[in-house]
Structure 1
Amino acid sequence: MNHEVLAIRHVHFEDLGSLELVLGERGRPVRYLDVGVARIEAPNPVGASLMVVLGGPISATDDTFYPTLVPLLAMIEKRIAAGLPTLGICLGAQLIARALGARVYPAAQAELGWTPLTLTDAGRASPLRHLDGASTSMLHWHGDTFDLPTNATRLASTPACENQAFAWGDHVLGLQCHPEIRTDRFEPWLIGNASELAGRRIDACRLRADTAQFGPTLEAAARRMFGEWLDQVDTKS
């Protein structure tokens, strides 16, 4: 296995964000596989030191419309079975949940904007302690949710979404929320999702202002969380 990190990216502005800075500091190169540009089956799913499946505006169950989902699920299943570090963010977390046999489905209400996380006891005992709502808010941008996979441990919730974060074993972490957001790179999110914001009657100016207010604190907290998680999985892998 090499030291490379494989990041599966669905839309260009939903990248590793602040988490990539942590990897850079550790000398860990990131290779992005852009879905729809590169062949999804091309990389060896067990060849990288870490695989991250990033977010995107499609549903994790839209196999008929988006044929990249099935091979991506197969990649995730192979990573998990091999006991290798795997991280999912938003759509990525939903795909990990689905790969573990859990149901993914439309949430009772979309969650789009800033809301603090409420951590479970397990969450407070994990690297997610840095993301506790008492110290930082959190960005959310999703319309789907999922059941907690069998043998998974819930780490965090919000009033609108019970399963915001979960761990499965020592090597898998799913984050429905977006701790990776960078304040200075948020404008493409607003532009790329302009139709959704208008359709949901969400004020882009307010969302921009909230991100300017809460983003810097979250960036620092997310970097601490991710660094601690990397230390844990690197020790056990």
Structure 2
Amino acid sequence: MDVGVNPFPITFAVHFLGITAIAMVLVWTIHYLGGLAWNSPDKSLLFNVHPVLMLIGLVVIGGEAIISYKSFPLEKEVKKVIHLVLHAIALVLGIVGIYAVFLFHNEKHIANLYSFHSWIGIAAIVLYGVQWIYGFVMFMYPGGDPALRRVSLPWHILFGLLVYMMVVAAAILGFLEKMTFLEESGLAKFGSEAYLVNFTSVVTVLFAALVVFCAITKPPAPAFDDYAPI
């Protein structure tokens, strides 16, 4: 259901929160956790690739893809391409991020897929891929029958938002899981790193909430009647 509020001012807040979340996760992984590296004797640097790519990819770029129809004053077909490309970039970064954590677990002889964070994360990226493929085939190429597209559109939007909420839930659970491990290893519960990660989670939730709100808003004016899928 569309809410009759102009979404364009909201998109600026979304962009700001997205940039803030990226900056915070980079400060955490580089300043507090020692940096990022694909090949290093210190395998924790390989793990650090995981939260960075998942947040930048599926959360932030994925959120920007969702609101791309509301963010850019362009032709609908151009916005459709932007929407598709941003989701593709998000999906690729998410896959690489998951591959990085699997490599880390295998290098450290840690079990894979044992936590709820990992379960919901795998489910989210699989469904994200299904959503992207369906959107490409139905709305881009070769394109479904117009009647079928009209029927599919509301469900495509709803499913997209549900998958995105799974992505954000997985991210928050990931922050919580990592902080639990760090605190068990001696990290101060009220130290600067703990506060940074907690506030990164808060910013991520606010970002996602505004993405969803922006996605369901629609100016009550004829000029903005033609909105495309999420």
Identify the TM-score tier after normalising by the shorter chain.
Answer: under 0.3
TM-score normalized by structure 1?
0.25
Structure 1 or 2: more strand by fraction: 1
Which entry has the higher C-alpha Rg, 1 or 2? 2
Q: Which has the higher helix share?
A: 2
TM-score (norm 2): 0.26
